Structure 1
């Protein structure tokens, strides 16, 4: 757990949410990518909590969060409903959101459906476009194969996907792999598969024009999951978006190029533009 971050649980009729909370100031919600959990951001939380109250959530079907309403759909809109349920439970009427990968896609959809709730939206290599997923995620959606990957081949699968997320091989947090494996094994793996097999981004891309909050898109130019060229597809529907491409960065940009990414996030969340100190559009 990051220094100063308190692990907290809040329960609603829909779910038992696990999250970390740290700092004081304007709120910011952190949403990790698929297969991630709140401590994916363990190095980012102390930085942002210097100026913000940070809520780092285990999203539905990930980490320790447990879905209690077993009849709830776990497609994109179902996950967004649960995110809204969490924000209501912790008393956040408005918040900034930082989302990574699929967490960025869920953040986008939340901002489309609840535009008055989102103050600023920072997206790190986000999902949200109606494009073909990387083969690893397509594999997880297959009957029997997905169960095999999660239950029998979990450690090599996590290691492969983590390494692929980094452009800088020396920055891969090998010491976190066993923690990731333990976290995944303690999760409800059927919920992990339900999310993986239910998500479609067609409506999210269609409704991008509904986002009203300022948007920062951050991308590494060596991303092997979502190529940085996808940013152009976002900005055609998000004219208010500022795009920053970080040279030499992979998919887990906040860990692969931490100094550049943190600086850009801090300035954006403070309401200032990412100026000449950061990479250009």
Structure 2
């Protein structure tokens, strides 16, 4: 996937969603987090598509999807995902969510009452408190950040995202991550999605984690400096049907640091 491009589009009630489908077999849906996009699944999709029909998309306000000057918070992402499930005619797919994608999976299951065969959560945002000091600062002063010069914005975003990876980030990966956030539209969108982040979206569902009956696999990068692994253990203890796996030499972006190990754990879980 030298040039990662989503080829399909869906008009949700909240905005235009870019997506794609690869492979054949049982359906599995991949949902990215923030400030990422489906680009970060590029090393996972080819392997999974050998056994599954892989559905992947960019959240509203991210990547190649529309970036409206409106609500792109976690409060609408579960509703959009529910619409996509109807559009794709998926009744009980396997779902994989990373970071905010994990939150979207949990909110869709618990609030929208959508059924999933199995749930895989990778370093999800699920237990308060969450958000780095940078995240908290931007959340408070969104308008001030939107007005900074583009070259300063690019430098800040580059430094920020590289902190999510345990291994050094190559230029191709870095460009693929930050390009959607460049230019006037991208810059505004970057700070907008941070400003709209709120712990209330996880507080709303945290007390229901013990009610999940579907098999859940929680995967965590041992060197995740964004969401410490202790938060993953706490989430695991709140669920009755979960397994917990930690991956060494991996930060918050496990799919970038250790894609092969990540795929092996996913396949092992799905084979049981």
- What CA deviation, in whole Å up to 9, does each residue of 1:38-74 have, x standing for no partner? 1110010001111111111101110121267x77x44
- SS of equivalent to 1:66: coil
8 Å CA contact 2:142, 2:195 repeated in 1: no
Q: How big is the shift at 1:259?
A: 1.9
Which runs of structure 2 are paired with 1:140-155 in the superposition (5 Å)?
140-141=138-139, 142-148=141-147, 151=150, 153-155=152-154
Match 2:175 to one of 178, 186, 193: 178
Which runs of structure 2 are paired with 1:57-76 in the superposition (5 Å)?
57-66=57-66, 73-76=71-74
Distance 1:24 1:229, change over 3 A: same
Aligned pair count reads 267
**Distance in structure 2 (CA, Å) of the matches to 1:153 and 1:89:** 40
8 Å CA contact 1:140, 1:149 repeated in 2: no
8 Å CA contact 2:29, 2:55 repeated in 1: yes
* Range that drifts further, 113-122 or 218-227: 113-122
Distance 1:163 1:232, change over 3 A: same
Where does residue 117 of structure 1 map in the other structure? 115
- What CA deviation, in whole Å up to 9, does each residue of 1:174-209 have, x standing for no partner? 213233333223655545444322332211322223
Where does residue 276 of structure 1 map in the other structure? none
Which runs of structure 2 are paired with 1:192-207 in the superposition (5 Å)?
192-199=190-197, 200=199, 201-207=202-208
8 Å CA contact 2:40, 2:255 repeated in 1: no
- What CA deviation, in whole Å up to 9, does each residue of 1:204-229 have, x standing for no partner? 32222342321111111111100111
**Distance in structure 2 (CA, Å) of the matches to 1:176 and 1:262:** 19
Where does residue 255 of structure 2 map in the other structure? 254
* Range that drifts further, 134-143 or 242-251: 134-143
**Distance in structure 2 (CA, Å) of the matches to 1:102 and 1:116:** 18
- SS of equivalent to 1:250: coil
Distance 1:91 1:179, change over 3 A: same
Where does residue 126 of structure 1 map in the other structure? 124
What's the Cα RMSD here? Answer: 2.5
**TM-score (structure 2 length as normaliser):** 0.87
Unmatched 5+ stretches in structure 1: 273-281
* Range that drifts further, 211-220 or 196-205: 196-205
**Distance in structure 2 (CA, Å) of the matches to 1:221 and 1:98:** 19
Residue 81 (structure 2) pairs with residue 80 (structure 1): no
- What CA deviation, in whole Å up to 9, does each residue of 1:48-104 have, x standing for no partner? 111111111101110121267x77x44423211111112222222221111111211
Unmatched 5+ stretches in structure 2: none
8 Å CA contact 1:158, 1:177 repeated in 2: no
